[in-house]
Chain A
């Protein structure tokens, strides 16, 4: 019996012909579902774009410069997380931790910029979620993006913590890699959101 129970704890062998590891596949599947989720929010945003009769319109309320600055921070963080992974790959835990921390800081700055943007919208333009359709759809879409950024930041902290215990390795399907995939995804969503909300929809 004991020999067979041992077997039960063995790793699952991967199917022949699998290009991705199990965790990589899981992350891809999860991100596909996230695409469906964000597409729905974007559809709702576009449905109501320009349908308001009261309250501020996107053109009146949204500040393009703020959005551009915050976008720069977020897009830069995709670059730094790539560099962090590269350092890990080269075997430099120090280098990894440095770039990883910088990524975290860039993401946090983006979040702070969003907070600043929202406070301006509420203070200056009285735009709240209940003000009009633009408010409802804008805060929902941007809010869910910000929520995803926050989750990414928490995950980054966890990985950072693990890396100080020496538990982070460069491996396919490892934690650092998965977080970076997720992070790139969140950035891509932002590019789409930026184009629709801040450029095209104004």
Chain B
């Protein structure tokens, strides 16, 4: 503890005294250290989260009253396009990649990612892509095509300004960044584990990052190809999605959702991984059924590649296709269910500590369960015919994205913050943040299911007073307003605790994976010696030499 403290202050003094701001800037912009790149990813995503959140609040303000004219319709279209795009491409994916970047090498006992310079390239490409998309505001307005960019809305005829080109280019560039990250994770995890760490012993988070990366490898290139086609249509007069000249809007939907569906698993698998690290540590029990969990992750990754057309039931595919895609979608719930029961079994009979990471993990478990259940409803084709493109869908996917990805992420960020900064977060602020988020979230997205069932379509900028949607919309907006201070508290907490939080020491949670074996924050080279691992919980073995895990595995 004392040594870590000393190191940390030494480091801070060095950085601040010997260098000044330009040197710090230079240091961070040219870094190839996986930890710094990870931090850059996370900070960038948090900035985009604030931007995307502001867009959401603007939309919700417009929907507060029927026939309200706070925003013009075109602005509203731009807002939901940018909100969806931002949240998926510039918040969700990069923040998970960032956390993965920071943790994976540490967890597997490596000194860095396999290709450090490519790693830096990935980050800068992602950031540059985001800036490209947002630069559309400088050309007179953002794209108004939805994050799914349905054809032929994206053709020149309907989207005349450069905004749509910038959108496509931005996603293309950031997609290349994501792809390089995926390749890097795969090679790092397969090739750089420390001695003794077989694939059956890697920490579960690394395992989920591996499968997320496999999905990145298979899902991002088709999106890239589809974006190229859009750009060719718009700029060279090709006809891929130009329905006036034989092009096909249906093809776009297939290509987009072939990416778009795996994307939701890219967003949620790493959250599964974080939860699987946190629940055992805060229950003081080993992860129940590691092998089953591992197999379930692989199964989810595989099955989810084959269900994309459940986003297209209302397009009018054949009955056979409807049946196949409904069945395949329902199939995903089996491995997901396995994971759920394993998490519950891990907690069963454990000594549970309700620290903030565990609270968020509980939030994840309860909320993701509900989101999963509405997902099962939507996978049933006839039900989907009724509620497709209604607010029910908006309620569902936010429930999964926030209840799953965001709660999982917050659990992870609270859990690993002490490792990254050497300081503990304020537990009080964290608890406030949790309850505000939970309540605000339920109030925002719960009523959306009801307004959806009452027939409110999504992506409308206003509605008539006589539909009975008013009160549900008002509760929704109220919920969104309650969420705002929650996010603000998180930002305040990470900044305040960075300077004022109590020192954490190397292993504040009494955890079991390798990242806790080094100092907090870890030195540039991660570990002084290459470690040797004999079981899934190397730190347990270290602390209990009389009763090591490998006797039982």
A contact set with B: CB distance below 8 Å: 4-5, 7-8, 10, 12-18, 20-22, 25-26, 29-30, 32-34, 36-37, 39-41, 43-44, 47-48, 51-53, 129-130, 132-133, 135-137, 139-140, 144
Are B114 and A22 interface neighbours, CB within 8 A? yes
Are B236 and A129 interface neighbours, CB within 8 A? yes
Are A33 and B220 interface neighbours, CB within 8 A? yes
Nearest CB of chain B from residue A185's CB, rounded to whole Å: 14
Are A136 and B251 interface neighbours, CB within 8 A? no
What residues on A are CB-neighbors of B237 within 8 Å?
Answer: 129-130
Q: Which residue of B lies closest to A47 (CB)?
A: B251
Are A8 and B111 interface neighbours, CB within 8 A? yes
Interface residues of B toward A: which range?
35 or more
Are B115 and A26 interface neighbours, CB within 8 A? yes
Task: Determine the distance from Cα of A116 to Cα of B111 in the docked complex, in whole angstroms.
Answer: 51
* 18 contacts across the A-B interface (CB closer than 8 A): A4-B528, A7-B525, A7-B529, A13-B194, A16-B195, A20-B191, A33-B183, A33-B221, A36-B219, A36-B221, A39-B222, A40-B225, A44-B251, A47-B251, A133-B246, A137-B240, A139-B238, A140-B229
Are B183 and A26 interface neighbours, CB within 8 A? yes
A-facing residues in B499-553 (Cβ within 8 Å): 523-525, 528-530
Partner of B187, one of A7, A17, A25, A133: A25
What residues on A are CB-neighbors of B183 within 8 Å?
Answer: 26, 29-30, 33
B contact set with A: CB distance below 8 Å: 110-112, 114-115, 179, 182-184, 186-187, 190-195, 197-198, 217-222, 224-226, 228-229, 232-233, 236-240, 245-248, 251, 255, 523-525, 528-530
Nearest CB of chain B from residue A101's CB, rounded to whole Å: 29
Identify 19 new A-B residue pairs, CB closer than 8 A, beyond the known A29-B217, A140-B232.
A10-B111, A12-B114, A13-B195, A15-B190, A16-B195, A22-B115, A26-B184, A29-B187, A33-B179, A33-B217, A33-B220, A40-B225, A40-B226, A43-B255, A44-B255, A48-B246, A129-B236, A132-B246, A140-B238
Nearest CB of chain A from residue B109's CB, rounded to whole Å: 10
Task: Determine the distance from Cα of A17 to Cα of B551 in the docked complex, in whole angstroms.
Answer: 23
Nearest CB of chain B from residue A28's CB, rounded to whole Å: 9
Are B111 and A29 interface neighbours, CB within 8 A? no
Nearest CB of chain A from residue B140's CB, rounded to whole Å: 26
Partner of B186, one of A5, A29, A52: A29
Nearest CB of chain B from residue A160's CB, rounded to whole Å: 23
Are B236 and A130 interface neighbours, CB within 8 A? yes
Partner of A133, one of B194, B198, B247: B247
Task: Determine the distance from Cα of A137 to Cα of B232 in the docked complex, in whole angstroms.
Answer: 10
Are B192 and A22 interface neighbours, CB within 8 A? yes
Are A37 and B232 interface neighbours, CB within 8 A? no
What residues on B are CB-neighbors of A5 within 8 Å?
Answer: 524-525
Task: Determine the distance from Cα of A182 to Cα of B180 in the docked complex, in whole angstroms.
Answer: 16
Task: Determine the distance from Cα of A30 to Cα of B197 in the docked complex, in whole angstroms.
Answer: 25
Nearest CB of chain A from residue B82's CB, rounded to whole Å: 26
Are A25 and B238 interface neighbours, CB within 8 A? no
Are B192 and A14 interface neighbours, CB within 8 A? yes
Task: Determine the distance from Cα of A13 to Cα of B532 in the docked complex, in whole angstroms.
Answer: 12
What residues on B are CB-neighbors of A16 within 8 Å?
Answer: 195
Nearest CB of chain B from residue A128's CB, rounded to whole Å: 8
Are B239 and A12 interface neighbours, CB within 8 A? no
Which of A34, A36, A41, A133 has most B Cβ within 10 Å? A36
Are A12 and B111 interface neighbours, CB within 8 A? yes
Q: Which residue of A lies closest to B105 (CB)?
A: A12
Task: Determine the distance from Cα of A36 to Cα of B182 in the docked complex, in whole angstroms.
Answer: 14
Nearest CB of chain A from residue B78's CB, rounded to whole Å: 28
